[in-house]
Amino acid sequence: MPLFSILITDDQSADLPERVSENIRSFKAAHPGEQHVLFGEAELSEFIAAHFDAEVLSAFRTLRPYTYKADLAKYCLLYERGGVYADLSYEFLRGVPREKGRLSVFRDLLSSTPWDTSLGVVAAPMRHRAMAKAIELVCANVKREYYGPTALCPTGPTLFGKAIAMTCDPEDLIVGEAVRLTLPT
């Protein structure tokens, strides 16, 4: 399964902070033999244009906050290719548990609804119905300019949890808890 991360910035520099580079190394080390790809905004736009219809590409281009763009792109990458997505802020101590056909997710630390599901680390088989539903919901939110009561609603953990609840039974999931660890400075 491929490993993905996303970095959307105004600065197109290829230089990553050392902490981010260490996190990528830990991601790869926890999933030996799997290729990691770091996507920027231009690559994501090309990927979405090549694999999805005009509505999805329009939604990606319309979204302004980079986090919202990244959320939609995560759903698209995982839907089309399957694999494991990790935010660049995560350090891995072990690999993400995966079983054929099941979605591996983590409950979110911050919650605005009981179903909020973290998007920081997600593993999905290719063409998983929860990813398709998440893409559909993001496009609908963009079309109707829905932002919700919190920033988690339009594309993020609230929407992702809703997509999972609409498409999955408990046995379709491997669920973990997100844990915040403070690194020594």
Nearest in space to 137 (alpha carbons), one of 56, 51, 38: 56
Question: Would you say residue 54 lies in a domain?
Answer: yes
pTM of the model: 0.94
- pLDDT score of 114: 85
Place of tokens 């219809």: 53
- pLDDT score of 12: 75
Question: Would you say residue 48 lies in a domain?
Answer: yes
Q: Which long-range contacts (CB under 8 A, 24 or more apart) does 12-15 make?
A: 12/40
- pLDDT score of 183: 62
DSSP assignment of 12-35, as one string? ---PPPHHHHHHHHHHHHHSTT--
Whole domain around residue 138: which residue ranges? 3-177
Question: Would you say residue 184 lies in a domain?
Answer: no
Question: Would you say residue 182 lies in a domain?
Answer: no
Angle at 24 between CA 95 and CA 36, to 5 degrees: 75
Question: Would you say residue 183 lies in a domain?
Answer: no
d(CA 4, CA 90): 12
- pLDDT score of 165: 97
Provide the number of structural domains found in the chain: 1
Could you state, in chain order, the average pLDDT of each consecutive group of 10 residues for the chain (185 residues)?
Answer: 95 87 98 97 98 99 98 99 97 94 89 88 98 99 95 95 97 87 65
45 SS3 class = helix
Note the pLDDT tens digit of each residue in 5-20.
Answer: 999 999 877 789 999 9
Question: Would you say residue 128 lies in a domain?
Answer: yes
**Domain CATH for 15:** 3.90.550.20
- E-only strand ranges, the chain: 3-6, 36-39, 83-86, 103-107, 121-124, 173-177
d(CA 109, CA 167): 22
Question: Would you say residue 185 lies in a domain?
Answer: no
Question: Would you say residue 78 lies in a domain?
Answer: yes
d(CA 69, CA 67): 5
121 SS3 class = strand
- pLDDT score of 179: 73
- pLDDT score of 184: 60
